[in-house]
Structure 1
């Protein structure tokens, strides 16, 4: 039964394709100029899209380097920079201690040194200053 349905479907599809082909031939003879204009317009559209994508593509992102000159000028250690990055991510002292596997008192000491080196006395101000200096993204 299903073979018969597939057979009839194939014949109907073939007939539809033949009718479309004949209709296209008639239209090609009646409107040749318009078809050429349509094809040229479609080509220019495709060319415009390709060139637009290539020209207006955003430049590749520059990898973040953490501004080593500012870091050296401030005398910030690697661990203090790590704590500063965790602060910028919004973690509390306890969360930072858990993530870095150190004591909360150690984190408090590092935070105090970061505040001192950046000349700030609040976490938000220290993170803002670190972003201005390019120490954290």
Structure 2
């Protein structure tokens, strides 16, 4: 069995890689649920399941809540991404033995997306 730090590092690496792949899919004319489906399918290859939303729209008119009625990157949301819309992507895995959260706020652009932060997504382990 892998040590906890090593197993956590593997899950972090997987989540980070998948997050980057998902951001590349965040272009205008794509539906929110398409991004979430790609996330779920990719994680399942690694034996990981996450059946909850992956992100939500943010901005002056969209104060985040757990039940907002705006675009949400989750199963069943057929909202089409549009240029200028801002999202908070939260590629989080909350598992029995550990939790990993990698987030990125981004704006949908004509050619894809633009991250709103440039911060490194380094692994920080808290016991």
TM over 0.5: no
Structure number having the greater helix percentage: 1
TM-score category (smaller protein): under 0.3
Return the structure number with greater strand share.
2
- Which structure has the larger Rg? 1
TM-score by structure 1 length?
0.25
